Each structure stands twice: as structure tokens, then as C-alpha cells.
């Protein structure tokens, strides 16, 4: 094989004495030298190369053999025999015969082969280029030798997504990408770009016709070319008129954004259609779609616009729900996006009002949520109460809550026009202050608004809810229900009286309760509440004891019960 | 002599025995789901404790003892909150009465007319029934009834041994729901007002935060008023009537 190639190099096809081989390219004959480059072709797009053999001698001659043999430098067989005449083929002086060689690379890369005609030979070389794919809707399809991008309104742009995928086993070195033709431009990655086997690279061709008519262009990738074609269609300019008198031109696909407006509200934008084509333009249809979008007034169609003339119409955005709304409007098939965001109607700022005077322990109070103005919005909010203890070592008081629902959280509702929030059927809610000194923090959350009210529960002397005394046999049992909101009570003093309201000797009887109360408050979760029983054994006439008083004190001050008469 | 006795009494009283403070328990209540729960704390600062019984139809408490009625049983709780008895009972609700000392007095089951009387620490069948043609609104200790006769409400006292009527008194102006207290006073609802009519016919009123649908004894001076969406505790003792909302209601 080496010998034959060497001979081929020494005896070029075109140099044979009697038979001369030329390349026929576009009807023009060109001499075939030792090396002929057929150029770049897309993989999958075969190229048929035509050769012509002429008898330039004065005697008849025979065309005996035509051969195409892959060279060692070629990545694969890219050149193949095409259409040959019947061999041997006698040629009279001056006669010719044509044959073809097909260049059909199966993958991207460089290819070469030896062409032999009788005893002469030439080297053929060419390059396969990975095909360009059009990507639309996630689907790839070959661009082909000719690709029509379609109709594009003058002034609009169309981007065609293209992709080169390396389906071969060798890397592709992407060295050149170009597009030549008015109205077309390219957006591609920096070159050179190496596409690994199995990988791909994307780029786009933009078609932006500056005038009506057909626009051809040539796309070249690593020397392989494809024809692109687009058509510009005369169309009016579409302009959004701003309040300040300026205009915003819209191209097909652009969005007219209405911004954010309250649900139930409405806003309109004026759109101007202006003929700048230089001739007449007919506007046939205007269509507005989208639940939140509508035409404000009649649409000016059909209309015949002379150059420079314009018509206007208004698009109205009136969202009935909160959230992003999208729609579109079309002018004779040109589609523009409509977009806007409906927002919730804001609630007025709530004000938390609690019943005056309810700032002490062991109380129930009413809480209301009021608005300075009738609410324009409807919805639900939450109310919570947090307790910040003012007693060292005490973190919580489980008796602080709303009731119902016996929880530190409650829901309320607001209807349009309300000046007060509703708690179920009521316009207030009851809360308990518990029996621990500290601070109540009420928080109302309504929409985006949060309001707080802080209500201190001041340290207070021991409170008696009830004091009862019962005679039982030879004893008197005193039952006390009360609370100590600072947890510092340590003793109680009992004074008994006779029927003449005279204190009985020996006078006040002190009972040390410090340890008992300390244990109670440390081991129970009842806030500062307590139930205490103290039994006084009596020898003698228990009935002579007719009343009693109880005194106690904590760090906030002293407490004395009312005079209690025994039953 | 008198002085000697008192001196002696006080001398002993100096040796007072104080029990450890406890969590106050005001009463018992039936929550919105029909569960029986202890009512902890006191009226202005109360909290429902853990459920002790479900499917409760009626409950009342003197503040010490408590009576609860499920669909099939009558349950007695002693002052310590311990179940002291459980006995079969007819279907339906029950009306309860307590003595002045807080002990149970009677339980009436209106659907059957069965009357149980408390005697010797337990309930026994009375052996007679109130008149079946009268709607009994309330019952009070040994043994009085509030009954509706036509449009009027009467107090009818009966002898314990045989149910013989011993006294009848029309109570003009009294409407239902109503409660006959151990001290003979009558609580009744008049529109949105709760009215306390004393035995001397004097009246006190307090406006309720809703329309009352039922009354029952809660504890001592406190009665429980059930409203459509909640329960409140009401007391007429003290300088002015007091109304506090109770946990366990429903909205």
C-alpha cells in the first residue's frame, strides 16, 4: 500500500500523458493536483465530487481503473466510490467521461483518501463537521443545509437556539462559527471551544429584520456551511405610553408589567399602535386574554393606518385574587405578555385594648382588637399572650390564657367594614392574669401587621379569694384559698374573737408556713395559688369563738382578711 | 369559768396544725366534649384539670362533694375528689341537690321520675316519685322541687317518707332555667339576666354575657351558668354580683 501511495504521489493524475483528470465544480473544470481538498461537510450531509477524465492525446486510450482508498491519516473511511463508468472505458482523442467520489464522513474529524485513475493518483482530503441541531421545546432536530427561521415582524427579534452535539469518539475542536447575512447575528461561546465526546455546546442565531422582505444568510461552523433564511414582515410599532409622556416600545414576546396593585383594584395602560413601515398597514385583530386583563373601551380594529398614523387602546388589569397574574394581548398574531401582581388589601393597624383596671393578678379581663378605620380587607388573625415572669426562679404561670379556648393563642376574624375584630360571635375575648407578678405581652398578627400591648402585673400582697372557718368537734378548721404573686409568704397570723369582738388571749397566733409554702411553689405548677388548711384544737366551748381574722405578708406588703364569722 | 375555758381554748390553738398548701380545687365541670374535669384554682383564676370521666350528661358540686351523671351511671365524688360511689342510673340527665353542709341530698332523673335520697353516706331510692304531670326544674335538699305548672313556676315541698306535699308556693315571675338553692333562695333566668330571689322575696340581678341554657351548683355561693358558647361562674355573695368565665366552654 505504501508503495502505491508513493507512486501516486510521483505520478499525479493530471500529469498522465494521454488522460487528464479535472474536477468539475459548478460546471467549471479545475485541474486536479496532487492534493485536493473537498472542504468541510456536515456529518450526515454527503458531498458528491465530480471528476472528468479527458483524452488529450491524438490516439484512442482506455480508462482502465478508478480507485478510492482510505489513507492511514484518516480517522475513518470518509471517501467512497461514487458513480463510475463501465471500465475499461475507451476514449477517443478529445473525448471525456465523468465519475464521482462521495465524501460522506460518519463523524466529525479530518478524512483523507487516495484517488487513483489508471496509474496516476491524487490525495483527497476533507473534514466532517458535527451537524448543527435546532433546539425547540426541548426537542433537537437537524438544521440541515437550509433552514428557514420563518416570519418575523420588522422591529421584533427571533432567537433560534442551536446546538452542536459531539456524538463521536473524539473531541471536536470548535474553531470558527460565523453567520453572514443582513438581519442575522450570532451569540456563541468564546472560541476555540473543545466539545468532548458526548458533550454539546449551545449558541443562538438572532434574526432581527430591519425591513420587510426575505433575508438569506450563511451559517458556517468549522468551515461547513448552511443556508439560513428569514422573512421580515412589515408591522406597526407597539408602544406603551407612560404617564410622563414617554413611551416604551414593545417587541413580540415582551411583557407589559402592571406592577403590584391591591386585589379588587384596577389599573390601565395605554398602548399605541403606530405605522412606521413607510406604507399602509391594516390592523385586523387585537385580542386580550387572561382572567385579570381586559380591554378598557372599544378596540380600534379594523384599522387602516397610513405611514405615521396610529391608534390607541387601553389594557386594564383588575386582579380579583392575590398573586401573580399573567395574560397576553395579540395584535394580528404578534403576542405580547401581560403581567401583574394582585396583592392582598392591607388591614388597618390593629390596636389592642384591654379592659381598664385589669392589671393585677387573679383577674379576668376583656380584650378587644380595634381599628381606627373600617377594615377594607377580610381575613383572620391570631392573638397570643406571652408571660414574662417577674419572680426569680419562676418561668411560667399556666393559668394565664384566653378562655375559651383555654389557650395562649386565639384566632379572630375581620370582615370588610369591621372596626373590631371578632372572636367567634363576640367582639372581645376573656383573658386571665394568673397569679404571678410579671408582664403580659399581647401580640395581634393580622396580615402583614403585628401589634403588641404590654400589661404589667405588679407585685402584690397576698390575696385571699376565700377564708372559711368551720367548727368541727373540738377544733376549728380554717380554710384559705388565695394567691401570692411574688411567692414570698412565710407566715400567717390568726386572731380569734369572742361574741363581743374582743380578741381572745393570747391574741394573734403566728403560724410559720415558710417551708410549706416554699415546697408548694417549687413542686406545683399552679402559679401563686394555694389552698391552705390550718386546724386549731380547742379545749372548752368552741362555740365561744365567733370570728377570726387572718393576717399575712409577703415582700409586696401586708394583707388582712375581713372579719370572718364562724357559722 | 368562761375565762378559764377560753384561755384553755387559745392555749390549745397555739398548737395549730397547718397542712401543706395544695392546689385549690373550686369544683367540677363538664367540658364542651362532655368530659368531667376538676376545676382547679378559683373562680377568677381557674383551669380545667385532666378528664376524669367521659360522656357526662349532668354535673353539680357543692364545692366539696360532687355528683355526675353519665348515660347509665351516677357517680359520687367526695371532698377529696375521690370517687366515693358509682351506681346504675336511668337514661337521660339528672337534677342534683346538696345539703347546706355540702353533702349530697338528692338526685332526680326526670325521664323516669326516679328519686334518690342521700342517707347515711349513700343514695337510696325514695320509694315515691314526684307528680308525673309536672316538669321538675330543680330539686333541693330534703326535699323541695321547683316545678312548672302551665306558665307558672311553683315551689313544692314534700315529705321525705312518702312524698306527700307539705307546702306549695307559687313563684310569680320565676322562669326557667331555675335553681333552688339549699338556703331556699331561687336562681332563675329572665331574658339575659340571672336573678337571685331570696327567701324574703328580695331580688338581685346580673346581666349575663349570653342567654343561659342551664344552671347547676358549682361551689358554695357559686353557680355554673351554661351559655350557648361557654360557661360562666356567678356569685351573688359580696358587695356586687361577680361573673367569671370558666374554661372548658366551646365557641
3-state secondary structure labels for all residues of A298-367:
CCCCCEEECCCCEEEEEEEECCCCCEEEEEEEEECCEEEEEEEEEECCCCCCEEEEECCCCCCCCCEEEE
Cα end-to-end distance, chain A, whole Å: 135
Regions of chain A short of the pLDDT cut 50: 1-11, 14-16
Short-list A104, A116, A111, CA closest to A65? A116
Give the number of other Cβ atoms within 10 Å of residue A424's Cβ: 16
CA distance to partner chain A, nearest, from residue B212 (Å): 16
Q: How far is A460 from chain B (nearest CA, A)?
A: 16
The β-bridge relationship of strands A19-25 and A47-55 is: antiparallel
The answer to whether the Cβ–Cβ distance between A520 and B247 falls below 8 Å is no
Nearest CA in chain B to A541: B5
* pLDDT band at residue B18 using 50, 70 and 90 as cut-offs: confident
Decide: residue A389, CB within 10 A, 0-12 exposed, 13-18 middle, 19+ buried: middle
Contacts of B242 in chain A (CB under 8 A): none
Q: How far is CA A163 from the centre of its chain?
A: 26
Burial of B81 (0-12, 13-18, 19+ CB in 10 A): middle
Q: What's residue A107's pLDDT? A: 85
Peptide bond into A302 cis (omega under 30): yes
Task: Identify the pLDDT of residue A567.
Answer: 82
Structure confidence by residue, pLDDT tens digits, B211-231 = 999 999 999 899 999 998 889
- Put simply, the answer to whether B15 touches A537 (Cβ < 8 Å) is yes
Nearest CA in chain B to A472: B101
- Mark yes or no for CB contact A538/B12 under 8 Å: yes
pLDDT of the residue at A364: 94
**Residue showing cell 316545678:** B147
Cell of B72: 347509665
For the record, the C-alpha cell of A30 comes out as 479545475
- Which residues from A are below 8 Å from B25, CB to CB? 531
Whether A222 contacts A174, CB under 8 Å: yes
Inter-chain CB proximity A404 and B251 less than 8 Å: yes
Which of B9, B49, B207 should one mutate to test binding to chain A, selecting the residue with the greatest count of A CBs within 10 A?
B9
Q: What is the pLDDT at residue B7?
A: 45
| Rounded Cα–Cα distance for residues B18 and B28 (Å) | 26
How far is Cα A197 from Cα B5, in angstroms, rounded to an integer? 116
Would you tell me how many other CB atoms lie within 10 Å of the CB of residue A446? 25
Backbone angles phi, psi at A434, to 5 degrees: 75, -165
The answer to whether B249 contacts A403, with C-beta atoms less than 8 Å apart, is yes
CB contact under 8 A, A526 and B249: no
* pLDDT recorded at residue A498: 86
User: Which residues, at least 6 apart from A398, have a Cβ–Cβ distance to it below 8 Å?
Assistant: A434, A525, A526, A527, B47
Helix or strand (DSSP H, E) at A31: strand A28-31
Residue B180 near residue B170, CB atoms below 8 Å: no
Cis amide prior to A192 (ω within 30 degrees): yes
Q: Which of B1, B3, B10 to mutate to test the interface with A (most CBs of A within 10 A)?
A: B10
pLDDT of residue B205: 95
SS3 A286: strand
Size (chain B), residues: 251
Select from A21, A71, A25, A72 the least CA-distant residue to A47: A25
Burial class, A371, CB count within 10 angstroms (exposed 0-12 / middle 13-18 / buried 19+): middle
Work out the number of other CB atoms within 10 angstroms of the CB of residue B93. Answer: 13
CB within 8 Å: A506 and B10 = yes
Contact B22, A482 (CB under 8 A): no
Indicate the DSSP class of residue A234: -
Beta carbons within 10 angstroms of residue A64's beta carbon: 12
C-beta atoms of B23 and A539 within 8 A: no
Nearest residue on chain A to B231, alpha-carbon basis: A404
DSSP-derived secondary structure for B63-83: SS-EEEEESSEEEEE-TTS-E
Test the A interface: residue of B23, B41, B81, B249 with most A CBs within 10 Å: B41
Angle at A208 between CA A205 and CA A211, to 5 degrees: 145
Residue of A362, A426, A511 lying closest to B18 (CB–CB) = A511
The whole-angstrom distance between B26's CA and the closest CA on chain A is 9
**Rounded CA separation B79/B63 (Å):** 8
Partner residue facing B10 (CB), from A504, A519, A531: A504
- Report the residue from B9, B45, B229 with minimal CB separation from A432: B45
At B14 the pLDDT is 57
**Closest B-chain CA to A466:** B42
| Cα–Cα distance measured from residue A160 to residue A205, given in angstroms and rounded to the nearest whole number | 5
**CB-closest option in B45, B209, B246 to A434:** B45
Over 50: is that where the pLDDT of B9 sits? no
- Chain B interface disruption, residue of A406, A533, A541, most B CBs within 10 A: A406
| Inter-chain residue contact B43 with A527, CB threshold 8 Å | no
State the DSSP code for A13.
Answer: G
Residue A414 is predicted with a pLDDT of 96
DSSP 8-class letter at A561: P
**Site from A364, A479, A510 to mutate, B interface, most B CB atoms within 10 angstroms:** A364
Q: B243 is written with which cell numbers?
A: 361573673
CB contact under 8 A, B24 and A435: no
* Residues B211, B217, B220, B221, Cα dihedral to 10°: 20
Residues of A in contact with B42 (CB under 8 A): 362, 465-466, 481, 529
Per-residue pLDDT, A13: 55
Mean pLDDT across B168-189: 93
* pLDDT score for B3: 39
Cα B15 from Cα B4, distance rounded (Å): 18
Which residues in A lie closer than 8 A to residue B22 (C-beta atoms)?
520, 530-532
pLDDT score at A119: 81
Do the beta carbons of residue B228 and residue B213 sit within 8 Å?
Answer: yes
Choose the closest CB to A509 out of B13, B22, B48.
B13
Residue A404's CB is within 10 A of a number of other CB atoms, namely 23
Q: Which residues on neighbouring strands pair with residue A330, listed in sequence order? A: A287, A335
Predicted structure pTM score: 0.66
Which chain A residues contact residue B44 at CB under 8 A? 362-364, 432, 465
pLDDT of residue A9: 38
Q: Which of B57, B20, B21, B18 is nearest to B36 (CA)?
A: B57
Query: Which residue do the cell numbers 332563675 mark?
Result: B188
Q: What is the DSSP string of A371-436?
A: ESS--S--EEEEEEEEEEE-STT----TT--EETTTBSEEEEEE-TT-SB-BBTTBS-EEEE-TTS
Q: Do A405 and B251 make contact, defined as CB atoms within 8 angstroms?
A: yes
Nine cell digits for residue A53: 477524465
- Residue A506 to residue B230, Cβ atoms within 8 A: no
**What ipTM was reported for this prediction?**
0.88
Contact B20 A520 (CB under 8 A): yes
For residues A413 and A378, what is the distance between their CA atoms, to the nearest angstrom? 8
Query: Exposed/middle/buried for A391, CB within 10 Å: 0-12, 13-18, 19+?
Result: buried
> Is A406's CB within 8 Å of B250's CB?
no
Cβ distance A505 to B22 less than 8 Å, yes or no, reads: no
Q: What is the pLDDT of residues B103-153, one digit of tens each?
A: 999 999 999 999 999 999 999 999 999 877 788 888 888 799 999 998 899
The pLDDT assigned to A136 comes to 86
Please give, rounded to a whole number of angstroms, the shortest distance from the CA of B218 to a CA of chain A.
Answer: 15
The maximal CA–CA distance of chain A, rounded, in angstroms, is 168
Q: Which three cell numbers stand for residue B179?
A: 335553681
Residue A102's pLDDT is what? 95
**Chain B partners of A506 at a C-beta cutoff of 8 Å?**
10-11, 14
Instruction: Specify the residue for cell string 443545509.
Output: A145
Q: What are phi and psi of B167, to 5 degrees?
A: -160, 140
What number of C-beta contacts closer than 8 Å exist between A and B?
A: 152
Number of H helices, E strands in chain B: 1, 24
| CB-CB contact of A439 with A454 (8 Å) | yes
C-beta separation of B67 from B59 below 8 A: yes
Q: Which residues pair with B61 in a beta bridge?
A: B66
Facing A496 at nearest CB: one of B4, B13, B22: B13
DSSP reduced 3-state for A370: strand
- Sign of the C-alpha dihedral computed for residues A18, A23, A28 and A31 taken in this order: negative
Amino acid at each position: 500500500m505504501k508503495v502505491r501511495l508513493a507512486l501516486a504521489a510521483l505520478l499525479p493524475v493530471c500529469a498522465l500523458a494521454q488522460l487528464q483528470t479535472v474536477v468539475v465544480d459548478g460546471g467549471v473544470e479545475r485541474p486536479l493536483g496532487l492534493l485536493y481538498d473537498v472542504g468541510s461537510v456536515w456529518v450526515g450531509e454527503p458531498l458528491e465530487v465530480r471528476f472528468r477524465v479527458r483524452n488529450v492525446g491524438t490516439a484512442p486510450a482506455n480508462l482502465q481503473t478508478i480507485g478510492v482508498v482510505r489513507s492511514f491519516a484518516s480517522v475513518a473511511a470518509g471517501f467512497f466510490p461514487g458513480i463510475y463508468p463501465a471500465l475499461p472505458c475507451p476514449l477517443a482523442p478529445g473525448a471525456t467521461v465523468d465519475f464521482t467520489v462521495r465524501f460522506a464522513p460518519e463523524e466529525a474529524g479530518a478524512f483523507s483518501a487516495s484517488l487513483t485513475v489508471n496509474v496516476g493518483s491524487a490525495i483527497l482530503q476533507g473534514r466532517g463537521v458535527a451537524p448543527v441541531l435546532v433546539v425547540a421545546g426541548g426537542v433537537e432536530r437537524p438544521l440541515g443545509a437550509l433552514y428557514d427561521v420563518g416570519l418575523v415582524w420588522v422591529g421584533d427579534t427571533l432567537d433560534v437556539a442551536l446546538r452542536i452535539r459531539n456524538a463521536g469518539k473524539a473531541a471536536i475542536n470548535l474553531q470558527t462559527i460565523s453567520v453572514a447575512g443582513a438581519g442575522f447575528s450570532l451569540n456563541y461561546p468564546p472560541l476555540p471551544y473543545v466539545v468532548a465526546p458526548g458533550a454539546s455546546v449551545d449558541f443562538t442565531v438572532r434574526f432581527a429584520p430591519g425591513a420587510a422582505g426575505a433575508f438569506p444568510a450563511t451559517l458556517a461552523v468549522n468551515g461547513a456551511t448552511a443556508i439560513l433564511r428569514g422573512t421580515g414582515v412589515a408591522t406597526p410599532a407597539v408602544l406603551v405610553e407612560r404617564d410622563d409622556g414617554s413611551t416604551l416600545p414593545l417587541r413580540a414576546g415582551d411583557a407589559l408589567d402592571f406592577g403590584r396593585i391591591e386585589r379588587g383594584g384596577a389599573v390601565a395602560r395605554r398602548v399605541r399602535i403606530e405605522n412606521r413601515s413607510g406604507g399602509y398597514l391594516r390592523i385586523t385583530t387585537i385580542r386580550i386574554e387572561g382572567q385579570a386583563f381586559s380591554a378598557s373601551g372599544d378596540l380600534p380594529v379594523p384599522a387602516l393606518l397610513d405611514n405615521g398614523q396610529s391608534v390607541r387602546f387601553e389594557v386594564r388589569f383588575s386582579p380579583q385574587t392575590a398573586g401573580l397574574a399573567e395574560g397576553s394581548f395579540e395584535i394580528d398574531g404578534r403576542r405580547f405578555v401581560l403581567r401583574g401582581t394582585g396583592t392582598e388589601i392591607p388591614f388597618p393597624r390593629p390596636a389592642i385594648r384591654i379592659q381598664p383596671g385589669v392589671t393585677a393578678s387573679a383577674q379576668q379581663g376583656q380584650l378587644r382588637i380595634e381599628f381606627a378605620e373600617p377594615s377594607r380587607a377580610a381575613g383572620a388573625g391570631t392573638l397570643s399572650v406571652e408571660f414574662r415572669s417577674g419572680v426569680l426562679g419562676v418561668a411560667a404561670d399556666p393559668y394565664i390564657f384566653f378562655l375559651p379556648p383555654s389557650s395562649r393563642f386565639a384566632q379572630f376574624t375581620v370582615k370588610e367594614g369591621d372596626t373590631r375584630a371578632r372572636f367567634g360571635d363576640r367582639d372581645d375575648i376573656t383573658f386571665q392574669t394568673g397569679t404571678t407578678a410579671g408582664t403580659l405581652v399581647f401580640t395581634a398578627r393580622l396580615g402583614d401587621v403585628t401589634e403588641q400591648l404590654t400589661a404589667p402585673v405588679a407585685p402584690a400582697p397576698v390575696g385571699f379569694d376565700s377564708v372559711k372557718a368551720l367548727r368541727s368537734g373540738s377544733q376549728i378548721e380554717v380554710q384559705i384559698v388565695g394567691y401570692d404573686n411574688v411567692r414570698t409568704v412565710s407566715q400567717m397570723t390568726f386572731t380569734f374573737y369572742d361574741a363581743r369582738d374582743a380578741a381572745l388571749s393570747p391574741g394573734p397566733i403566728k403560724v410559720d408556713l415558710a417551708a410549706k409554702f416554699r415546697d408548694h411553689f417549687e413542686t406545683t405548677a399552679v402559679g401563686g395559688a394555694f389552698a391552705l388548711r390550718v386546724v386549731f384544737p380547742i379545749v372548752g366551748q368552741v362555740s365561744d369563738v365567733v370570728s377570726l381574722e387572718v393576717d399575712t405578708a409577703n415582700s409586696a406588703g401586708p394583707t388582712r382578711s375581713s372579719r370572718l364569722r364562724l357559722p | 369559768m368562761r375565762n378559764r375555758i377560753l384561755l384553755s381554748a387559745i392555749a390549745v390553738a397555739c398548737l395549730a396544725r397547718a397542712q401543706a398548701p395544695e392546689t385549690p380545687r373550686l369544683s367540677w365541670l363538664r367540658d364542651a366534649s362532655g368530659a368531667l374535669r376538676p376545676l382547679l384554682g378559683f373562680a377568677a383564676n381557674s383551669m380545667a384539670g385532666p378528664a376524669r370521666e367521659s360522656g357526662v350528661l349532668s354535673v353539680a358540686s357543692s364545692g366539696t362533694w360532687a355528683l355526675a351523671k353519665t348515660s347509665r351511671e351516677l357517680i359520687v365524688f367526695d371532698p377529696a375528689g375521690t370517687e366515693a360511689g358509682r351506681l346504675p342510673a336511668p337514661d337521660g340527665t339528672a337534677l342534683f341537690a346538696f345539703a347546706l353542709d355540702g353533702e349530697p341530698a338528692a338526685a332526680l332523673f326526670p325521664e323516669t321520675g326516679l328519686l334518690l335520697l342521700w342517707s347515711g353516706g349513700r343514695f337510696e331510692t325514695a320509694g315515691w316519685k314526684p307528680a308525673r304531670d309536672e316538669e321538675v326544674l330543680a330539686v333541693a335538699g330534703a326535699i323541695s322541687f321547683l316545678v312548672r305548672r302551665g306558665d307558672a313556676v311553683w315551689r313544692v315541698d314534700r315529705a321525705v317518707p312518702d312524698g306527700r306535699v307539705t307546702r306549695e308556693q307559687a313563684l310569680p315571675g320565676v322562669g326557667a332555667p331555675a335553681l333552688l338553692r339549699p338556703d331556699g333562695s331561687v336562681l332563675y333566668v329572665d331574658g339575659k339576666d340571672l336573678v337571685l330571689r331570696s327567701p324574703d322575696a328580695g331580688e338581685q340581678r346580673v346581666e349575663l354575657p349570653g342567654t343561659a341554657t342551664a344552671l347547676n351548683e358549682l361551689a358554695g355561693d357559686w353557680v355554673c351558668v351554661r351559655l350557648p358558647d361557654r360557661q360562666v361562674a356567678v356569685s351573688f355573695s359580696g358587695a356586687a354580683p361577680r361573673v367569671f368565665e370558666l374554661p372548658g366552654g366551646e365557641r
